[in-house]
């Protein structure tokens, strides 16, 4: 990629050329999994073919030799040391490594929010049922102010709190919490922090050092575009030895980051990891600041177009620099799950129905490779469906 006119349409057309066409559906669910760039796809295919020729040799003695450099590249992106990074399959695996690996005793408290990822909450509650720890919920709404969210977590902390579980960006609505402030609050309370960064990493700038958390977890197949099945766990150096691995190591347990790495699974698909380096390379070439600005621009663009659609209601704070690609909206008086189906089946537009607590709506998450005219197509389809349904019901 060249660097000419980095803010203009020509630049973003070159970015688009790096990605496979999304068809037959217009893909507005990149928050689940983004398509890998073409170079990433090819790297994984080439590596898989290499494995097929001599699996035992080519996996362990060739492909795996590149992993220290891969960790070094990721360390630059997340701002940590390479020996604080473990590679795994996804955020859930990394989060469960931290959740089940932190030593806790009966009566110790862990603070979560009701908005955390369902498998995260289930993991902590499993520890509660098996070990007698206490899971405490900080109570707030995703449209509350940062100050109100900090106050809710502050109110939940007690002298018995040992872990603060945080979601940096909620996948439901794209709301970003003041994670740096909350991690500082936890440190002042003598509390460990586990941060779910599945939606933040590679979508907007993030620094493990600046956050000051103990564990940071993300998926590499979301906003960085690595092959599906790649994740990263960052563990602060002073927490590595005290944390149990999720899977017992094959070799005598090393007191270093290796004990959390993917190879403790036994045999795994190492060819998928060959796509991490080219994904990281393209990410650096575009630049995370530029990626974030583009995603914020695309979100504000389509929302501005959709504002006048009857019943349109946005559930994501828009007037913030922390806005990214992920938003949730609903249409008053309509079955939003049926709306999702109609957009997909009639207009070939793929959004994602989300339901949590009192929220029900469609999540929209464009990728950095998308054109504005595709968002025009989405909003036009949405307007057509809503107006037809409102007319049928005699609504305005």
Q: What is the 3-state secondary structure (H, E, C) of 285-306?
A: HHCHHHHHHHHHHHHHHHHHHH
With H, G, I as helix, E, B as strand and everything else as coil, classify residue 98: helix
* pLDDT score for 5: 47
Residue 74: its H or E element? helix 67-78
Which single residue is written with the structure tokens 């993030």? 206
Give the number of other Cβ atoms within 10 Å of residue 307's Cβ.
10
For the segment 149-161, what is each residue's pLDDT rounded down to a tens digit? 999 999 999 999 9
Which single residue is written with the structure tokens 């490594």? 97
What is the C-alpha to C-alpha distance for residues 78 and 373, in angstroms, rounded to an integer? 33
What is the C-alpha to C-alpha distance for residues 190 and 29, in angstroms, rounded to an integer? 38
Structure tokens of 107?
Answer: 């009566």
CA contacts within 13 A on the Cβ side of 393: 14
Residue 273: its H or E element? none
What average pLDDT does range 37-60 have in this prediction? 95
Confidence band of 8 (pLDDT split at 50, 70, 90): confident
Q: What angle do CA 187, 193, 196 make, to 5 degrees?
A: 145
pLDDT beyond 90 at 7:
no
What is the C-alpha to C-alpha distance for residues 64 and 292, in angstroms, rounded to an integer? 32
CA contacts within 13 A on the Cβ side of 191: 28
With H, G, I as helix, E, B as strand and everything else as coil, classify residue 166: strand
Residue 239: its H or E element? helix 237-240
pLDDT beyond 90 at 254:
no
* pLDDT score for 253: 63
Distance of CA 307 to the CA centre of its chain: 27
Which among 18, 69, 35, 12 has a CA at the least distance from the CA of 350? 35
- Phi first, then psi: what are they for 102, rounded to 5°? -75, 125
For the segment 17-35, what is each residue's pLDDT rounded down to a tens digit? 999 999 999 999 999 999 9
Task: Name the DSSP letter for residue 29.
Answer: B
For the segment 312-368, what is each residue's pLDDT rounded down to a tens digit? 999 999 999 999 999 999 999 999 999 999 999 999 999 999 999 999 999 999 999
- Residue percentage of the chain with pLDDT more than 70: 97
pLDDT beyond 80 at 4:
no
For the segment 176-195, what is each residue's pLDDT rounded down to a tens digit? 999 999 999 999 999 999 99
Which among 311, 319, 295 has a CA at the least distance from the CA of 375? 295
Q: What angle do CA 313, 165, 125 make, to 5 degrees?
A: 95
pLDDT beyond 50 at 65:
yes
Q: Is the pTM for the entire model greater than 0.85?
A: yes
Least confident of 208-222, 253-267, 281-295, 298-312: 253-267
């Amino acid at each position: 990629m060249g660097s000419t006119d980095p803010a203009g349409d020509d630049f973003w057309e070159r970015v688009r050329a790096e990605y496979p066409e999304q068809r037959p559906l217009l893909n507005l669910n990149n928050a689940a999994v983004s398509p890998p760039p073409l170079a990433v796809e090819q790297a994984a295919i080439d590596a898989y073919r290499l494995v097929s020729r001599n699996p035992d040799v080519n996996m362990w003695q060739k492909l795996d030799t590149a992993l220290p450099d891969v960790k070094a590249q990721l360390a630059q992106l997340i701002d940590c040391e390479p020996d604080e990074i473990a590679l795994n399959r996804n955020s859930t695996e990394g989060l469960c490594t931290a959740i089940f690996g932190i030593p806790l005793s009966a009566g110790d408290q862990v603070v979560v929010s009701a908005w955390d990822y369902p498998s995260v909450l289930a993991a902590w509650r499993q520890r509660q049922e098996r070990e007698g720890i206490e899971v405490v919920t900080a109570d707030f709404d995703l449209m509350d102010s940062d100050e109100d969210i900090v106050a809710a977590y502050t109110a939940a902390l007690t002298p018995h709190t040992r872990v603060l579980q945080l979601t940096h960006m909620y996948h439901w609505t794209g709301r970003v919490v003041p994670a740096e402030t909350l991690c500082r609050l936890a440190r002042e309370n003598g509390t460990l922090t586990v941060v779910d960064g599945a939606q933040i990493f590679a979508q907007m700038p993030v620094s493990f050092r600046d956050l000051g958390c103990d564990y940071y977890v993300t998926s590499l197949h979301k906003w960085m575009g690595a092959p599906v099945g790649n994740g990263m766990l960052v563990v602060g150096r002073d927490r590595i030895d005290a944390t149990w691995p999720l899977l017992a190591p094959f070799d005598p347990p090393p007191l270093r980051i290796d004990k959390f790495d993917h190879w403790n699974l036994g045999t795994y698909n190492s060819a998928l990891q060959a796509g991490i380096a080219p994904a990281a390379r393209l990410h650096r070439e575009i630049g995370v600041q530029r990626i974030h600005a583009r995603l914020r621009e695309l979100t504000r663009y389509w929302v501005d177009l959709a504002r006048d659609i009857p019943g349109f209601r946005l559930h994501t704070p828009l007037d913030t620099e922390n806005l990214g690609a992920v938003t949730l909206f609903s249409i008053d008086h309509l079955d939003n799950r049926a709306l999702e189906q109609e957009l997909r089946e009639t207009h070939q537009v793929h959004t994602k129905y989300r339901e949590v607590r009192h929220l029900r709506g469609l999540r929209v998450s464009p990728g950095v490779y998308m054109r504005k005219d595709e968002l025009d197509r989405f909003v036009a389809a949405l307007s057509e469906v809503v107006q037809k349904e409102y007319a049928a019901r005699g609504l305005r």
